[in-house]
Structure formats: structure tokens, C-alpha cells
Amino acid sequence: MTGELSPIDKAKFVAARRAADFVEDGMRVGLGTGSTAAWLVRCLGEMVREDGLKFKGVPTSTRTADLAREVGIEVISLDEARWLDLTIDGADEFDGDLNLIKGGGGALLQEKIVATASDRMVVITDIGKQVETLGAFPLPVEVIPFGWQTTQALVEETLISMDVLGRDATLRMNGETPFVTDEGNFILDLHLHRIGNARQLALVLNQMPGVVENGLFIDICDTVVIGYGDGRVEMRDINEGTIEHDRLDFVESENLFTDLSD
């Protein structure tokens, strides 16, 4: 129930609810992964059941796919969709140019593929994710398991020549074993603290053998929807150069707010 939500969860919910209005009948929509994206999927499922919204969703992870089917959204693969009208996803950080760090949930590869196969990417987030310069959140880098320690050493060596404040890379764990992505890869989290040239870093990382993809999303996001704990919503469009404000009232809904595991 919304009355039991923390301010941060309220902020995530209002951002997700406002972004759900971008979805129209007949669209093919990329569905992101993470706690904020889970709110979006719940909101869209409610619109499917109660308002008759008809669209096809392309999930960016098995977790999102399972939740989407659970709430009644028709799920198809990216190969079936071929191209998307819209992708809505969360972010771990965003800056003033709407560049992002993503991958805290471990789905950065599918998230980037889906986002770049879309006419428009909308990011839903709370104001706490805004930063002046990317890098406070550890940068995820997906690597193949074979020789991952060598890849880690190469990454750390390469970071010496990059405009960053930290150079430590740690293997993401799931308990006592390495975290494994949906594609069967590992993730190195780079503790950089500050990234002076995110575009350069993204290009350099992806040229390294063993690296599959990195969590820097540069020039991909078109619109960010920022939620606040009091129901306010701010929408920034990087292409139009516009900033809009709105406010959403919380509406109690048992179907929407119960059994949300993400």
C-alpha cells in the first residue's frame, strides 16, 4: 500500500507511473530491469488489465520477463520486435547531459542492446541518482568468465591513463560464488569515484579482449523522469531542451503494491 512506502519508494513509483503514460496502444516497448523498472512494469500491468492498454513488451532480463508475464503484459523477444518505439528503464546515476551509469542489477548488456534498438529511451529515477560527474556509483563491466582475472588486471592497468580518481576493480559476487549474468558472464565493478571523460572510457573499455560491454550509456537517453517523495515529478528532455513539472496523487491499489519482490 502506498501509505506504507518509504519516501524513496514513493519517488520511484511516481516516476514510473508518469513514464507509463508514454506507452500507447500498438507500441513495442523495452522494459528495464531494477527496482524502479519493476514499479513501471506493475503500473503498465494495471493499465493492461483495467484500461485495456495493448502493447508488446521486450524485457531486458529474465526477472523483468517473469514479472511482466505475471502482471499480464504480452512479452516478445527483441528478435521478434526487431525495432522498438520506446524503452523505459532506470539508472544508477545520471548527469546533466543525461549520460548514465547502469548495471547495478547486472543486466547492462541486454539493457544497452534494447535501449539502442529504440526510437526513444526514457529513464525513470529519483533525484538522489543525479550527479554532477559520473563515477560515484561503481561502473559495471561485463566480462567473459575465461581469463577474467587477466581481464581485470588489464582493465586496472588501462585505468592508469584514464581521467579517473580510483582504479580498483572487484569481481561481483553472489554469496560465495561469482555473480553470473543472463548471458553467463561475470561483472567487474570499477570503483572510479569520478569519471572525467566518460565517452573516452567507454570506448577504451570496449576495445579490450574479454570485455563484453560496460555500463556507461552515452548519448542514449532522451528523457529522464525524476520522482520525488512528495509526489512531484520532473521531466527533462535532452533533445527539446525542455523541463516540465507535474504532481501525482497516490492512489491505493492492492494489485499494484502487494507482493512486489524487486
**Hey, which residues are catalytic here?**
111
92 annotated binding-site participant: yes
253 annotated binding-site participant: no
d(CA 193, CA 165): 6
102 annotated binding-site participant: yes
CA distance readout (Å), 215 to 12, 167, 258: 21, 16, 31
d(CA 110, CA 126): 22
Indicate the helix (H) or strand (E) that contains 142. Answer: strand 139-143
36 annotated binding-site participant: yes
DSSP collapsed to 3 states, 58-107 = EECCHHHHHHHHHCCCEECCHHHHCCECEEEECCCEECCCCCEECCCCCC
202 annotated binding-site participant: no
Question: Do residues 108 and 214 lie in contact, with contact meaning Cβ atoms separated by under 8 Å?
Answer: yes
105 annotated binding-site participant: yes
10 annotated binding-site participant: no
151 annotated binding-site participant: no
- Which residues participate in the annotated binding site for substrate? 33-36, 89-92, 102-105, 129
- Which residues participate in the annotated binding site? 33-36, 89-92, 102-105, 129
